[in-house]
Amino acid sequence: MARLYLASGSPRRRELLAQIGVPFFTQIAPVDEKTLPDEPPLAYVERLARAKAQAGLLALSDAADAVVLGADTAVVLDGQVLGKPADRAEALETLQALSGRSHEVLTAVALASRERVVAQVVTSQVTFRRLSLAEIEAYWASGEPQDKAGSYGIQGLAAVFVSQLQGSYSAVVGLPLCETAALLAEFAIPCWQTLPDHSQEVAGRG
């Protein structure tokens, strides 16, 4: 079986891969994440996911039987990619712009081996209820928005902001599990390789 490497330092992506029972190693290589002139958001996230996977593959000392997974997530409002906030003012401005509106979350996942690279982009729509300035400021003070695209994390405290979600929840977190599993299968990497032992729990319910 191929050895899977994750080209990401995101703890959320690590947790999601572990959730579906897929063992992996971590192999991160630097990638320039700047957008290209007039580059559409969908093309941007797919390009970055592919670049991360390929950079991770090139960084391996032995790429034989290796498959590298790269992913990228972008929050998009009115056609503009909202990155991680540079400071408090930018985070507050972003969250005020998202308040009471729907926005897109694009997540691309790519798998690279020595023979080929495959990728897929998943689009989800997230709707925020109307937010007060006081709760936006309190959310910033929690520290959670500082390293998040779009200045929020749906899997954390900002879950209370989301009134509607159309699409993939795991993609909004950072890795679309349904689509990732299908791509892994193309490289003969199965899910559910590591499963918790529930035999004691089941026995105790009798």
Contact 95, 136 (CB under 8 A): yes
CA dihedral over 45, 47, 48, 50, signed as positive or negative: positive
* Sequence-separated (6 or more) residues with CB below 8 Å from residue 50: 70, 108, 110, 112, 117, 119
Distance between CA atoms of residues 13 and 20, nearest Å: 11
Cα distances (Å, whole numbers) of residue 79 to 36, 44, 75: 14, 12, 10
Q: Are strands 3-6 and 25-26 parallel, antiparallel or unpaired?
A: parallel
In the set 32, 38, 72, 87, the catalytic residue is 72
Tell me, yes or no, if 72 is annotated catalytic: yes
Residues known to be catalytic: 72
